[in-house]
């Protein structure tokens, strides 16, 4: 593949997406998610943290700050109220 491991994102109508998708080579036809307008969706974050490059940084504190920022921005931008109880925090990290 031209961009191995990289994702591409597309915003379009369903009809335009389907037209574009059908014209792709069969081995390139894959997509992760279709988010419909007006339907609730979830925000997913994949956070990378290199311990060796950041030996004095507190990863847990950084995640806490990020969550607080997301909660505040969701309210300011969309008037959506949520708390950290609404968040699922999964980790696959190893120190």
**pLDDT score at 2:** 61
Contact 7, 32 (CB under 8 A): yes
pLDDT number for residue 81: 94
**74 and 42 in contact (C-beta within 8 Å)?**
no
CA distance 13 to 25: 21
Report residue 12 as tokens: 């379009």
Distance of alpha carbon 17 from alpha carbon 46, whole angstroms: 25
Q: Say how far apart CA 39 and CA 41 lie, in whole Å.
A: 6
Q: Are 12 and 20 in contact (CB under 8 A)?
A: yes
pLDDT at position 35, please?
82
pLDDT for the residue 3: 59
pLDDT digits (tens, 9 = 90+) for 52-85: 888 899 988 999 999 999 999 999 999 999 999 9
pLDDT bucket at 44, cuts 50 / 70 / 90: confident
* Confidence at residue 62, expressed as pLDDT on a 0 to 100 scale: 92
């Amino acid at each position: 593949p031209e961009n191995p491991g990289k994702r591409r994102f597309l915003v379009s109508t369903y009809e335009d997406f389907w037209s574009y998708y059908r014209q792709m080579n069969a081995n390139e036809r894959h997509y992760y998610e279709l988010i419909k307008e007006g339907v609730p969706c979830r925000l997913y974050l994949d956070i990378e943290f290199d311990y060796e490059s950041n030996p004095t940084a507190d990863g847990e504190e950084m995640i806490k700050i990020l969550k607080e920022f997301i909660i505040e921005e969701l309210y300011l931008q969309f008037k959506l109220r949520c708390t950290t109880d609404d968040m699922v925090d999964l980790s696959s990290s190893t120190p």
